A and B are shown apart, each in its own frame.
Chain A
Amino acid sequence: MKNMKKLLSVATLSLTFSANELTAQYAGIAGYVAPARPGIPAAIAPPQNFANSTEHYEYLRELHNGGVIHTHNSIPKWDGLWGRAGNSYNTGRESTIFRNEDGNIVEGMLTPEYEAAFRYRLRQSGLDSSDNGVTVDRLTHCEPAGHPRWSLEPYIREMVNEPHQSWFMNDLGNDTRRIYINQEHQNLEGNHFPQGDSVGFWTEDDQLIVHTVDVWPMDFFRGSPPTSNQFESVEIFWRGTLENGEDRLFLSSTFYDTHMLAKPVSLMYVFERREDLEEFGYRTRYFECSGNQNQYITFDENGNPTTQTRLPGEEGFNDPRGVDPLRTPDLPRDLPGQEKNPIFNDSLF
C-alpha cells in the first residue's frame, strides 16, 4: 500500500512536471491552420491557443458536456471502403507544409533542433541534391505507418463505429487505430505505441473528437521531418458532403509536439467512399510484409543510407509464394500442400 502511494505520488509529480513544460512551450502561441483548397476545406482552428493537446481536448469535452452516449443503433455508420481524397499536408506537386516547392524548409514551423534534424534527413536521404526521391523510408522494415502517417497513406480504409470503440483500419500494414469512446487514457505497459493511445467522444452533431498520446517517434510521410515521442493530437472526424453533394469523411487534426513543432499545426484530410471497389469485390487482407520483404536499408560507398533489393537466389531472399524452409523447419521438406499460394504452379526454385 505504501509502495502504491509512493508510486502514485511519483507519477503525479512527473505528470505535473510534464504539464508545466508543455504550458511553457505553447501558451499563447497561435498555431498554423491549413487553408481551404478545392475539394479540401480549411482545417478547424482550435477555439483558442491551448498550451497542449490535453487542454484542447478537455476544453472540447466540456463544451460538449462530456459527449453523447450512443447505442449500437444510434451510432453514426461509416461502413464501406474509403479512399484518400486529398489533404492539406501536401501544398503542391512536390511541396508540403514543411518544405517549399523550391526545396527550402518553411520557416517558423519546426523547433530549431528539429529543423536542423530535417535538414540532416534531407541531406542524408539525398533529397537536397537529387531528383531521384528519398533514399530511405522507415517503413522498409515493415513498421506500421502509425500516427500521423496513417492519415496520409494512399491505401483503403474501413471505419467501424461502435458505442464503446471505433476501429479505423488502414489496408497498409495491418494498421488499425482503436478509439476508446467515453473512456480515459490507459498505458498499463508503460510504453509508447505506433498509434499511441486514443480516447474520444461523440458530439451532438455526429462529430467524433479524438485525443491521442503516447505515440512512437514517426513521420507524416517518407521525406518529412520526424515527429517525436511527445507527439499528441486532437482530431475531429465527421461524415459530410462537398458542395457538389459528394459523400466524404473529413478529418481535421491538430498536432502538438513540444520537441518538433514550433507551434501547433492543424491539417485537413479527406476520404471518399469507393463503392466501385466494393462492387469489384475488393477485400482488406492481412498485409503480408516481413515474410515477403526483399528491400533493405544499407549504406552506399559514401556511408550514406540507401535502399537495396534482394533478387531470387541471393542470400536472404524471401519467397512469398513457395515453401519457406525457415517458416516450418519442424516439417519434412517435401511434405505436399505446404505452398502458401498454390493456385499457380510458379515455383522459382
Chain B
Amino acid sequence: MKFNRLLSLIAILLSSSFVSNSYAHHSFAMFDKTQELFMSGTVTRWGFNAPHVFLFLETEDGTVWTFEGRAPQSLLMSQENPMTGYTLEPGQSVEVVICPLADGRPGGALGYIHANDIWYRPGHGGCPADSRWEDEWSAAGYASRAEAEAAM
C-alpha cells in the first residue's frame, strides 16, 4: 500500500511538472481541477483534430458531454499507450475520469479514458487525474475523487 502511495506521489509530481510546459495552447482556467468525476457512456465522436482532441460521450440519461484532451500530436508521441484517430470509434462503450467545466455545462477536461482494456492518459494540465483511478478507485466504484478520499 505504501509503495502504491509512493507511485501515486511520483505520478502527481510528474503530472505537475508536465503542467508547466504542457501540450496545449490555452489556459485551463475553465476547468475545475479540484473535482475528478468517473463516468461511463457511449462514444459519439472521437475527434482527433488539432489543436485539441475532443471526446463526445453520451451518458445513460442521453446527455452528450464534450471532453477536451491534449493536442493529437502529443497523443501520437506518447511513449506509453499512444492514441490515434482509430483508438476509439462511435458506438464504443468507455469509462472516463474528467475534470468538469467550472460553470456546470456538460463538458470538461479528460484525465483518463478506459477503453480496450487500457487506461489511456489523454489529459493536459486541465485534469491531472490521480493514478489510483487505474486500479483501486475504479475497482471500488467511486464516482468522484471526493468520494474516494472520504472513504480512505
**Contacting pair A344 B90 (CB below 8 A):** yes
Complex contact A94–B20 (CB within 8 A):
yes
Chain B residue, CB-CB nearest to A346: B45
What secondary structure prevails in chain B residues at the interface with A? loop
Task: Tell me if B106 and A311 are in contact (CB < 8 A).
Answer: yes
- Interface size (A, Cβ < 8 Å)? 51
Contact A307 B29 (CB under 8 A): yes
Q: How many residues of B contact A (CB 8 A)?
A: 42
Q: Determine whether B148 belongs to the interface, using a CB cutoff of 8 Å to chain A.
A: no
In chain A, residues 265-304, which have Cβ atoms closer than 8 Å to a Cβ of chain B?
A: 274, 276-277, 280, 282, 285, 287-289, 292-293, 295
User: Known contacts A171-B73, A345-B90: does B30 contact A307 (CB below 8 Å)?
Assistant: yes
In the complex, A342 has a CB within 8 A of chain B: no
Chain B residues lying within 8 Å of A135, measured Cβ to Cβ, are 27, 29
Minimum CB–CB distance from B118 to chain A (whole Å) comes to 16
CA distance A178 to B62 in the complex (A): 51
Q: Once bound together, how far apart are the Cα atoms of A151 and B125, in whole Å?
A: 20
- Residues in A with CB closer than 8 Å to B22 are 154
- The reply to whether A308 and B51 form a contact with Cβ atoms under 8 Å apart is no
A309 touching B73 in the complex, CB below 8 Å, given contacts A276-B79, A292-B51, A295-B26 = no
Shortest CB distance A175–B (Å): 11
0/1 per residue, A210-251, Cβ < 8 Å to B?
000000000001100000000000000000000000000000
The yes or no answer to A321 lying at the interface (CB within 8 A) is: yes
Partner of A140, one of B19, B27, B46, B50: B27
Q: Known contacts A306-B27, A348-B56; can you find 9 more A-B pairs with CB under 8 A?
A: A90-B21, A126-B29, A134-B27, A137-B25, A142-B51, A274-B77, A306-B29, A320-B49, A346-B56
